Amino acid sequence: MQSSTANLRNTFSNLMDEDCETKKRIGKLQSLYSAKEIKNVMEDGELDYPHEKSHPEGMSFELSDVNFSYPTTQKKESSLSSVNLKIHSGSVVVIVGSNGSGKSTLIRLLSRLYEPTSWTYRTTSLRESSILLSQDHNIFPMDSAEKGGAKEFIEKLDKGFDTIIHPMVAIAANKLEHQPDHPLQEEKKKISKKSNISGGEQQRVVAARAFMRMNSGKIRFVAVDEPTSALDSEGELQLFTRLLEAREGKTMVFVTHRFGYLTKHADMIVCMKNGTVEEVGTHSELYANKTGEYTKLYNIQANAFLADS
Ligand SMILES: Nc1ncnc2c1ncn2[C@@H]1O[C@H](COP(=O)(O)OP(=O)(O)OP(=O)(O)O)[C@@H](O)[C@H]1O
Ligand SMILES: [Mg+2]
């Protein structure tokens, strides 16, 4: 009895210990619940989207004199200043411009990740009707599919479509460590092995997710912010082609640094510079201005190809 009592006391004192796993986990659980208490400071609209008056061909946008600074920034200049832009429903728009010119910021505003000064539609229903393929993404443990160009490499994985990318199961059986011949060792290896996939393969999975969401039939807006930086040229072309094939009933806005396929297919190209819209037009319109920002960026890329020949 003495020994049991001592054991019990030990167990309780371990539970109170600073480094105790249980205590840490309870702490994490607590923060999970307290996240529910965080109030959404964004004011919401009242109408659902799509609405009877909304365009069936896709979402339309009108930005009038938009200025934007990130709430956390210490910089004096705004990330966007005096942006005026009309995006017609069903159009394909390509945004180009140098690093930091405000392309992603513009796309985040269109996707309503930040607060505009006036609003009509309910944020949740707007989000249900929009897809944002962005530069930074999260891969969740279960994901997949074909149109994103992911099918081929997924089938090559040991468990194919049943692969769990980041296994969440932590092995609690610590004592196994000291028993290399234990029959459970094999099982342990299987569970803890991670399926490492490359950056480009991750982007394919993320793209696949976007196509999966299109099946909902609710999507009216697709924003694509350079999700192809790690894709090989063939993968990039395939992704853009497939996205454009799915354009019916959707407005599509792409951000890209690579001129060519997309800029050729765009109904409108928006060229950004230092947070402002510098030029708007089609490729031939913008390229006609020989001293313009668009022509400058275009020629830099074209010359890089010519330089070697
Ligand atoms: N989360 C953020 N917090 C504070 N400032 C930001 C944030 N994101 C961007 N900025 C600033 O806003 C400006 C515009 O950035 P943005 O990301 O829109 O540029 P971009 O055109 O997408 O560039 P890139 O071609 O590098 O993707 C930059 O000056 C940048 O430093
Ligand atoms: Mg960006």
Domain boundaries, the chain: 2-35, 61-142+199-306, 158-192
For ligand 2, the distance from its centroid to the CA atom of residue 104, given in whole angstroms, is 4
For residue 145, the model assigns a pLDDT of 62
- Output the average pLDDT for the chain: 83
Half-sphere exposure of 219 (CA within 13 A, CB side): 20
pLDDT for 51: 79
Tokens 């951000």, residue located: 255
Position in ligand 1 atom list of the atom nearest CA 97? 21
Question: How far is the centre of ligand 2, averaged over its atoms, from the C-alpha of 136 (Å)?
Answer: 9
Whole-angstrom distance, CA of residue 109 vs CA of residue 30 = 32
Answer yes or no: is the C-beta of 229 below 6 A from any ligand 1 atom: no
E strand or H helix at 225: strand 221-225
Predicted confidence band at 13 (pLDDT cuts at 50, 70, 90)?
confident
- Identify the residue whose C-alpha is closest to ligand 1 atom 25: 99
List pLDDT tens digits, range 68-125: 998 887 888 889 999 999 999 999 999 999 999 999 999 999 998 887 777 778 888 8
Residue nearest to ligand 1 atom 19, measured at CA: 100
> Residue 95 to residues 17, 45, 256: CA-CA distances in angstroms?
55, 27, 7
Both structure tokens of 102: 């405000």
102 CB under 6 A from ligand 1?
yes
pLDDT of residue 301: 86
* Among candidate residues 47, 81, 9, 86, the one with its CA nearest the CA of residue 267: 86
Check whether 172 has a pLDDT greater than 60. no
Instruction: Check residues 173 and 114 and name the one with the higher pLDDT.
Output: 114
pLDDT in tens, 265-274: 899 999 999 9
pLDDT of 143? 61
Kindly give the residue spans of alpha helices, DSSP state H, lying in the chain. Answer: 2-16, 21-35, 103-110, 123-128, 151-156, 185-192, 199-214, 233-245, 261-265, 283-288, 293-306
Q: Report how far ligand 1's centroid is from the alpha carbon of 104 (Å).
A: 6
pLDDT at 170 over 60: no
**Residues 60, 109: Cα–Cα separation, whole Å:** 13
Under a CB-based contact definition with an 8 Å cutoff, are residues 244 and 265 in contact? yes
Higher per-residue confidence, 173 vs 24:
24
Query: For residue 258, which ligand has an atom nearest its CA?
Result: 1
Which fold does the domain 61-142+199-306 belong to in CATH? Rossmann fold (3.40.50)
Report which of residues 296 and 197 the model is more confident about. 296
Ligand 1 atom nearest to CA at 77:
29
Distance of alpha carbon 309 from alpha carbon 297, whole angstroms? 20
* Per-residue pLDDT, 174: 58
